[in-house]
Structure 1
Amino acid sequence: MKSHSSTLLAEVRTFRQSHPDVRYVDLISLDIPGRFYGKRYPVEMLEKVAAGSPLKLPQNAVLLGAQGGLFKIGDYCFHDGDPDANRRLVPGTLKPVSWEAQPLGQMLITSDGTEAPIEFEPREVLAKVLERLHRKGIHPVVAFELEFYLFDKKLNDGLPQFARDPLSDDPDDQPTLHIERLSRFAPVLDDMVQTAQAQGIDITVITAELGPGQFEINFGHLDDGLRAADWAALFCRSTRGVALKHGYRASFMAKPYLQHPGSGMHVHVSLYDAAGNNLLAAHQQQPLRHAVAGCLALLPHCMPIFSPNHNAFRRLGGTVNAATKACWGYEDRDACVRIPESDPRNLRIEHRLASADANPYLVLAAILVGLEHGLDAAQEPIAPLNEDRTSGHDFPLEMLEAVRAMQQQPVLREGLGAEFVDVYCENKRQDHLAFQQEINAREYRWYL
């Protein structure tokens, strides 16, 4: 059997043979707000890294705020000497980048699996949760669904303009949930799908959603949770690039229009044992109900993950299929946790609360900790919405309250890691406060 380094080296050499015009490769990783950071490496240097040369980046790059700045978080950033930390290449992720003007490659890097993983790196957080579940004999199968909007490439006085299609400039003339809209935007959508597939992402269903220029893309189910989250992260990157190439701006912003539906990240999760039996379907689906109860119990404490910024909280409670409480239901899209109709083999939950711009590694980690907590506690959930339309637990609807609810939750601190929870909460608190440091025109109109 080939060693890990020899497998990586073969991957890099095969890539170079297939893409001789590529001179540089972007080595990228997702930070806490869900943006990629990294370095652009000459491809010959990448071969040396694959062969075993060290790959180091600043540890604190993971802590960047939404606008790329660093916040003082404990001793990090300003009192730790800004140390480097080892990263490794993620096998199977070296792919060509087709949306840039010049030939380019990209490859995921991570600290998980290194001698000293970064405790607050999103991919490492998810890796630890998955490892713990595997030790318990629990093997998740995961599929993401992402909603996004297309806008005109140019902003109008800083405001987005809806995407013009070839037939009409009127946003009301874009047929809602209609196959015709897929045809009108076929060139850019087809390119998005083909580009994602070239990245190794399994795209399944494409839907025209309710908002003008809004679409949803579904991914295939995977028995590798890290890879499923990789797909979601990489799809966002490639989709933005492809949209710009076609004269559009693609955005996963949670609530770009107040009058139209927001964009969500829906995550389907089923749990299997080593023999392939669906754990949720056993004993007349009793484990399913326990898992739901665990998700709902932790959901109010996970809001900084599911709604990671000020705009994401705007999405909740005011439009179609956006929950106002931690609730569940069978075939009910108003529920945070929906149970789609399926046979016992495919029985699963669909977690619908997270915004499309949330960090997919952290969203999945939080969902899995909720499921794990539910299976361990073995409590029955509250009534489903199918029986009681008022059923549900309240959850925080603004960031500072949400951070307070998350930071002291003992199950989350144990399940996600206490160091991660503290760092993440402070990052969100500082980001939110920085966002508030601007007086907008409405304040002057109202209060001057």
Structure 2
Amino acid sequence: MKSQASTLLAEVRTFRQNHPDVRYVDLIALDIPGHFYGKRYPIEMLEKVAAGSPLKLPQNAVLLGVQGGLFKIGDYCFHDGDPDANRRLVPGTLKPVSWESQPLGQMLITSDGTEAPIEFEPREVLAKVLERLHHKGIHPVVAFELEFYLFDKKLDNGLPQFARDPLGDDTDDQPNLHIERLSRFSEVLDDMAQTAKDQGIDITVITAELGPGQFEINFGHLDDGLRAADWAALFCRSTRGVALKHGYRASFMAKPYLQFPGSGMHVHVSLYDGAGNNVLAAHQQQPLRHAVTGCLELLPHCMPIFSPNHNAFRRLGGTVNAATRASWGFEDRDACVRIPDSDPRNLRIEHRLASADANPYLVLAAILVGLEHGLEAKREPIAPLNEDRSSGTDFPVEMLDAVRAMQHQAVLRDKLGAEFIDVYCENKRQDHLAFQQEINAREYRWFL
């Protein structure tokens, strides 16, 4: 603990020396729906926290719904006195914020690694899964890919408008992978990439996707699963901020347009043993097949994580590369679990089902549990799509059905934690009820 405090204190003091104009730092963490919450600390107080002073925030901040309200979940929120819970600073995450009008810093905080971690905090859920895998001698290497849309800053009666490029065009007629779109939006995209790098994120490939104003950003592979998920979370925050600075809105909403492709969160995962050998490639890739089976078996029960809101379910079975059944295949982007072509050293799965607005900590935790389950059960998978285009198993496509499928699944309750499963399912159930408490114009047209 003394060593960590010394490291954190050195980090804060170095930051103050390099950024003397920064007076405040946002201490932030991701809640269950995938939004950042936290507090803005004076830089002097941050130095005291780094030296060992307590850092406490309300425990129930993790339970906020999509709109930020508190739901009654068991004894939490309204029958527990709204207690504080200890958090800690995440080393290496204190970075400048360049998209605000005033100099500012930000730093991740978490309850994992404290004396009493919050069982349903997303980062703690992932930390426990990774710790268990490490004890079994399994070390994941992870890379995220995130798709997002750019919109015009102004909405049209609440609806998004196409992003206007510097040429002034109201529409985006550039096809998929077209370099011209990257050129047209290069100013904002370059700023997004540089800002992410300033946050310590390893940005690699930038792609123009099929939808108008849609792009994809790839991150480098990391042997630290927590940090890989940190990168995904922080990228979403910085990208929204940079877009606003340039007069756009950036959104990771799963399906902003019915007629265009949705935005996904693709996660590449390979597994290595303590000697650095690829676990999936051993014994003529038999562990790979077992791991795929585990992912597919648990996938229908993880849908509230992969599709965390009503809009995310609209993305499934969309116009391109969005599966409607739990499936797998070699070099097949129609599959939920794709096996990219690679040499044995880099053999991996690409999990393609999650929406871009899903919680990256929970998505990675669910994927890893599927891989773990498959390696333990050692069952053969269904036929890949390369052999049978109709291969696959059904999964829920509505939120309440998905919650019911998740809540009592024994493997998930054991490996993700029963307390987390119960809290998460009730959070999604309450979000569903809250979503229903508004009558929209279509309902009046149909039934008035």
TM more than 0.5: yes
The Cα shift of 1:169 comes to: 2.1
Deviations 1:367-422 (A, max 9, x none): 00000000000000000000000000000000000000000000000010000000
Tell me which moved more, 435-444 or 32-41.
435-444
Q: Within 2, Cα distance between the matches of 1:289 and 1:298? A: 15
Secondary structure in 2 matching 1:17: helix
Deviations 1:220-265 (A, max 9, x none): 0000000000000000000000000000000000000000000000
- What corresponds to 1:59 in structure 2? 59
Instruction: Name the stretch that deviates more: 389-398 or 438-447.
Output: 438-447
The Cα of 1:172 is off from its aligned counterpart by: 4.5
Equivalent residue of 2:2, what SS?
coil
8 Å CA contact 1:174, 1:213 repeated in 2: no
2:434 aligned residue: 434
SS at the partner of 2:146?
strand
1:365 counterpart residue number: 365
Structure 1 unpaired stretches of 5+ = none
| Shift of residue 177, structure 1, vs aligned partner | 1.8
Segments ≥4 residues shifted beyond 6 Å: none
Tell me the distance in 2 between the aligned counterparts of 1:175 and 1:118: 46
Question: What is the CA-CA distance between 1:176 and the residue it aligns to?
Answer: 2.8
- Write out per-residue CA displacement over residues 285-307 of structure 1, whole angstroms, 9 at most, x where no aligned residue: 00000000000000000000000
Alpha-carbon distance between aligned partners in 1 of 2:166 and 2:25, rounded to the nearest angstrom = 36
Shift of 1:21: 0.1
| 2:295 is the counterpart of 1:295 | yes
Local SS of the residue matching 1:290: helix
Task: Answer yes or no: is the 8 Å Cα contact 1:97–1:105 preserved in 2.
Answer: yes
> Secondary structure at the residue paired with 2:75?
coil
Tell me, in whole angstroms, the C-alpha distance in 2 between the residues paired with 1:178 and 1:414: 46
Contact 2:172-2:213 within 8 A present in 1 as well: no
* Separation of aligned partners in 1, 2:226 and 2:249: 28
SS at match of 1:204: strand
CA contact (8 A) 2:57 2:85 kept: yes
Q: Deviations over 1:185-239 (max 9, x none)?
A: 0000000000000000000000000000000000000000000000000000000
Q: Deviations over 1:35-74 (max 9, x none)?
A: 0000000000000000000000000000000010000000
- The 8 Å contact of residues 141 and 222 in structure 2, kept in 1 or not, is answered as yes
Q: How many residues align?
A: 448
TM-score by length of 1: 0.99
Contact 1:255–1:315, Cα closer than 8 Å, also in 2: yes
Measure, in 2, the Cα distance between the counterparts of 1:63 and 1:172: 39
CA distance in 2, matches of 1:36, 1:262: 23
Asked if the contact 2:33/2:308 (under 8 Å) is kept, the reply is yes
Residue 167 (structure 1) shift: 2.4
- The match for 2:221 is 221
User: C-alpha offsets along residues 339-366 of structure 1, whole Å, 9 cap, x if unaligned?
Assistant: 0000000000000000000000000000
Task: Please give the secondary structure, in 1, of the residue aligned with 2:66.
Answer: coil
Distance 1:171 1:215 in 2: 15
Query: Could you list the per-position Cα deviations for residues 58-116 of structure 1 after superposition, in whole angstroms to 9, with x for gaps in the alignment?
Result: 00000000010000000000000000000000000000000000000000000000000
Are the equivalent residues in 1 in contact too, given 2:163–2:170 (CA < 8 A)? no
What is the Cα deviation at residue 318 of structure 1?
Answer: 2.4
- Residue in structure 2 matched with residue 145 of structure 1 by the alignment: 145
Query: Is the 8 Å Cα contact of residues 262 and 318 (structure 2) preserved in structure 1?
Result: no
Q: Distance in 2 between matches of 1:332 and 1:167?
A: 36
Cα offset, 1:166, TM superposition: 1.8
In 2: Cα distance, 1:351 partner to 1:319 partner? 18
Secondary structure class of the residue paired with 1:144: strand
Matches within 5 A, 1:204-215: 204-215=204-215
CA contact (8 A) 1:255 1:263 kept: yes
- State the distance in 2 between where 1:390 and 1:361 align: 31
User: 1:432 Cα shift?
Assistant: 1.0
Checking the alignment, whether the CA contact within 8 Å between 1:176 and 1:212 is kept in structure 2 is: no
Deviations 1:264-294 (A, max 9, x none): 0000000000110000000000000000000
Q: C-alpha distance in 2, partners of 1:41/1:318?
A: 43
Pick which of 49-58 and 429-438 moved more.
429-438
Cα distance in 1 between the residues matched to 2:124 and 2:68? 21
Tell me whether 176-185 or 43-52 shows the greater mean CA deviation: 176-185
Matched residue, 1:245: 245
Give distance in 2, aligned partners of 1:384 and 1:216: 26
Tell me the TM-score normalized by structure 2: 0.99
Q: What is the CA–CA distance in structure 1 between the aligned matches of 2:274 and 2:95, rounded to whole Å?
A: 32
Q: Secondary structure at the match of 2:323?
A: coil
Question: Secondary structure in 2 aligned to 1:326?
Answer: coil
Q: State the identity %.
A: 91
CA distance in 1, matches of 2:184, 2:233: 26
Q: Give 3-state SS (helix, strand or coil) of 2:388's partner.
A: coil
Q: Is the 8 A contact 1:64 1:70 kept in 2?
A: yes
SS at match of 1:345: helix
What is the deviation of 1:319?
A: 1.5
Q: What secondary structure, in the 3-state scheme, does the structure 2 residue paired with 1:417 have?
A: helix
Identify the residue that residue 307 of structure 2 maps to in structure 1: 307
Residues 290 and 375, structure 1, Cα contact 8 Å, conserved in 2:
yes
d(CA) in 2 for partners of 1:59, 1:166: 45
Q: Report the CA distance between 1:136 and its aligned residue.
A: 0.2
Contact 2:139 2:223 in 1 (8 A): yes
Please state whether the residue corresponding to 2:124 is helix, strand or coil.
helix
Aligned 8 A contact 1:413 1:421 in 2: yes
Stretch deviating more after TM superposition (291-300 or 316-325): 316-325
Provide the C-alpha distance between the structure 1 equivalents of 2:147 and 2:295, rounded to a whole number of angstroms: 22
Matching residue of 1:3: 3
Q: Distance in 1 between the 2:254 and 2:220 partners?
A: 23
Distance in 2 (CA, whole Å) between partners of 1:438 and 1:369 is 37
Measured at CA, do residues 172 and 197 of structure 1 come closer, stay the same or move farther in structure 2, by a change above 3 Å?
closer
**SS of alignment partner, residue 154 of structure 2:** coil
**CA-atom RMSD in angstroms:** 0.8
Deviation at 1:2, TM superposition (A): 6.9
Structure 2 unaligned segments of length 5 or more: list them. none
SS in structure 1 of the partner of residue 130 of structure 2: helix
Which range is displaced more, 299-308 or 161-170?
Answer: 161-170
Residues of 2 paired with 1:193 and 1:365: CA distance? 26
Q: Residues of 2 paired with 1:157 and 1:210: CA distance?
A: 25
